[in-house]
Amino acid sequence: MSITMKYARLAALSVIAAFAAVSAADAASGKAKKVEHHHWHFAGPFGTYDKDALQRGFQVYETVCSSCHGLELLSFRNLGQKGGPFYLDSCPAGVPDTIDCSNPNENPIVKAIAANYKFQVTDGPDEFGEMFQRPALASDRFPGAYPNEQIARLANNNALPPDLSLITKARHHGPDYVYSLLIGYEDAPSTVEIAPGQYYNPYFPGDLSQNLKAEYVDENGYPQEGVEVPLGGVLAMAPPLFEGMIEYADGSPQTVEQYAADVTEFLMWAAEPKMEERKSMGVVVIIYLIILAGLLYWSYRKIWSDAH
């Protein structure tokens, strides 16, 4: 066998192994229902965040999601930065003129949110060498519900609640996946059996072949002929949203769909708080490049017009 043929054979085997690895990974990841494509205000090259939706989404996060999930990469002051849900161009009535409310560290709304947040910040040591709890400041990061991973698992049936700072960037289909997951809880199909403390969601990737009831599998544990394995999987998080659980001050619908859309928009902002600035800069750059291209073309024609 020539050296060329030997290398060609090795390359072919490498390609086959790569495809096999991808197929195995796809099989392990399981299958899920196609996500719902929601119309997002921030979608597209000119999309922006809906400030009202961001404020409602923070209310949903603080009331519901923060009981288990943290925002470790976000500080309270981010809420008051330009583009954030509680940014102020000018101070509301009653605030002294000496305060610059456009500064997120002096924003009275942000300071009130931090001071009254449901979890306090661990600080210290004090003069006795002890750590202590105190109300949060605008400069503090969002404190989590659990002091460490072990306690978080202990409180959630050994499941670790993921941090939500970048959840819309860390999941395939991003905001559409988060929205679909929140509205997608339903009763498990009759062909599967779900263990206590687990909940079925068709949008959550998983493999329910191991959950099929005994009458639907053969002697080797595989699904019987004609039995379809349901899409989706099971997770330890119970359905977090219910109709009317949160009252919106602006009169928005108090439905699961509205709650899910609002908190997803807020989490998208948390993952990319500078999106509006980035898109604005992108528009300026494109306009600049178009003008530059026109000038270069005109210069080219002008310079070479006398050569022909």
Q: Indicate whether 63 belongs to any domain.
A: no
Q: Indicate whether 214 belongs to any domain.
A: yes
Q: What is the pLDDT of residue 66?
A: 96
For 265, counting Cβ atoms within 10 Å of its Cβ (0-12 exposed, 13-18 middle, 19+ buried), the class is buried
Q: Indicate whether 248 belongs to any domain.
A: no
Q: Indicate whether 82 belongs to any domain.
A: no
Q: Would the CA dihedral through 70, 74, 77, 81 be positive or negative?
A: negative
Amino acid, single-letter form, for residue 261: A
Cα distances (Å, whole numbers) of residue 45 to 66, 95, 281, 283: 31, 37, 11, 8
Q: What is the pLDDT of residue 19?
A: 47
Q: What is the pLDDT of residue 307?
A: 66
CB-CB neighbours of 229 under 10 Å:
18
Q: What is the pLDDT of residue 301?
A: 85
Cis previous bond, 162, omega within 30: no
| H helices present in 32-96, as ranges | 51-63
Domain count of the chain? 1
Cis previous bond, 125, omega within 30: yes
Q: Indicate whether 222 belongs to any domain.
A: yes
Q: What is the pLDDT of residue 218?
A: 87
Q: Indicate whether 244 belongs to any domain.
A: no
Most distant CA pair in the chain, distance: 89
Task: Output the tens digit of pLDDT for each of the chain's 308 residues.
Answer: 555 555 456 555 554 544 444 443 343 345 889 998 999 999 998 999 999 999 999 999 999 999 999 999 999 999 999 999 999 998 888 888 888 999 999 999 999 999 999 999 999 888 889 999 999 999 999 999 999 999 999 999 899 999 999 999 999 999 999 999 999 999 999 999 999 989 999 999 999 988 999 998 888 888 888 889 999 999 999 999 999 999 999 999 999 999 999 999 999 999 999 999 999 899 899 999 999 999 999 888 888 877 65
Q: Show the tokens assigned to 307.
A: 């050569």
Q: Indicate whether 209 belongs to any domain.
A: yes
Model's pTM, two decimal places?
Answer: 0.83
Domain that holds residue 220: 186-237
Q: Indicate whether 206 belongs to any domain.
A: yes
